[in-house]
Amino acid sequence: MKKTHKKILGSLGLGLVAAVTTAAVLMPSPEAAAIPSFTDVIQVRIENQESSFELTSGSPSVITTPGYNFRVDYDNIGDINITLVNKDDDGNIIYGPTTLWSTNVGWTAGDRTFNLDLDSYGGYGNFTITGVGEGYGSVPIERILTVRYEEPIQDIYTDEDGEGYGDVDGIPAGTEMIKTEVYDGDGNIIRTIITGTGTEGKTDVYDKDGHLVISIPGGYDPTDYETLIYMSGLPGGVYPGRIKFIDGEGSPIGRGIKVRIHWEGEEPIVVPDTGGLFQNLNISREDYLITGAVVFMVIGVVAFGIVKRNRPSKK
């Protein structure tokens, strides 16, 4: 028994000595503890050379007045070139391309605002403004703005007689008469309405062939600056048109006013009361035929049943 206790104590003593020795070997010396690890090394960040170039506009993408503004913002940019071109709906060039700005800003930061009058660049159309900035490493940065400048449209609503009034406030000086042209869907003139601007004037209405349809006293209101529109005799619908201002020599002054005329059409024809039994029923010819066929089938079935019931038995 005593021998066994001595063996256990000896083994524990050897294990303790081995553990202390191992800890002493693994423990760093005071000098080694002062050396930083790799994660403690200070990293130096080299700033990346970046360029920015933007075009932004404070105007909507579709406008009906000629004023249009946009802004150029740039940072670390060399050359800047900004061009403008105006095209119609078919892609044909109305104006340009023209250069709005071409300069070298010397790799600096800054901005510039442009306020354009689009009437000076061909007027109504589809405008494309393209800006190209020379970025870092001579890489071009392109930005594009698009805007549609279209003519405003005045909506005119006529009454049950086909009469309405167009607003002609701001009538040009030198106007002797006001001519309203009404077009079909293909742009052909189907009605011309000519109104004198005098207080004792009249309104003459002509058809597509130039024949007088009706002559109406007055038609121009010099107080409210309104001119008569007459649509009676034409099918109901929405018609494009243009109000033109005509001088004493018969020539138009300016562009005039683009209009959209709303006309419900004439009252429907009322069928006279003939006292017929079915006149107030909305029944078509096809309805009559189908109803007759159904009635015929029902009568046939009933008749067949009666004949079969009255047939004498063969028993």
Residue pair 100/145 in contact (Cβ under 8 Å)? The answer is: no
192 shares its domain with 137: no
Length of the chain: 315
70 shares its domain with 139: yes
Whether residue 44 has pLDDT greater than 50: no
Helices (H), the chain: 2-26, 30-33, 285-310
182 shares its domain with 222: yes
In a domain, 280, yes or no: no
In a domain, 65, yes or no: yes
For residue range 202-250, list pLDDT tens digits in order. Answer: 999 999 999 999 999 999 988 899 999 999 999 999 999 999 999 999 9
142 shares its domain with 212: no
For residue range 91-101, list pLDDT tens digits in order. Answer: 999 999 999 99
136 shares its domain with 165: no
| Token pair of 198 as six digits | 């005098």
For residue range 6-39, list pLDDT tens digits in order. Answer: 444 445 444 544 444 444 444 554 444 443 333 3
DSSP 28: P
174 shares its domain with 238: yes
Q: Which of 263, 290, 306 lies at the terminal end of a domain, its last residue?
A: 263
239 shares its domain with 183: yes
136 shares its domain with 161: no
In a domain, 196, yes or no: yes
Torsion, Cα of 212, 218, 222, 228 (10° steps): -50
Give me the number of domains the chain comprises: 2
184 shares its domain with 119: no
172 shares its domain with 144: no
pTM of the complete model:
0.63
CA–CA separation, 134 vs 312, rounded Å? 112
In a domain, 26, yes or no: no
Give me the domain span that covers residue 88.
52-149
Q: Which of 216, 235, 263 lies at the terminal end of a domain, its last residue?
A: 263
In a domain, 5, yes or no: no
| Token pair of 258 as six digits | 């683009």
CB count within 10 Å of CB 86 equals 21
Q: Which of 224, 240, 263 lies at the terminal end of a domain, its last residue?
A: 263
In a domain, 274, yes or no: no
In a domain, 302, yes or no: no
In a domain, 33, yes or no: no
103 shares its domain with 118: yes
Residue pair 117/149 in contact (Cβ under 8 Å)? The answer is: no
- Secondary-structure breakdown of the chain: helix, strand, coil percentages, each rounded to the nearest 5: 20, 45, 35
> What is the mean pLDDT of the segment spanning 284-299?
51
Q: For the domain that residue 91 is a member of, what is the CATH number?
A: 2.60.40.2550
CA–CA separation, 181 vs 279, rounded Å? 43
Q: For the domain that residue 161 is a member of, what is the CATH number?
A: 2.60.40
Give me the pLDDT at residue 99, please.
Answer: 98
124 shares its domain with 214: no
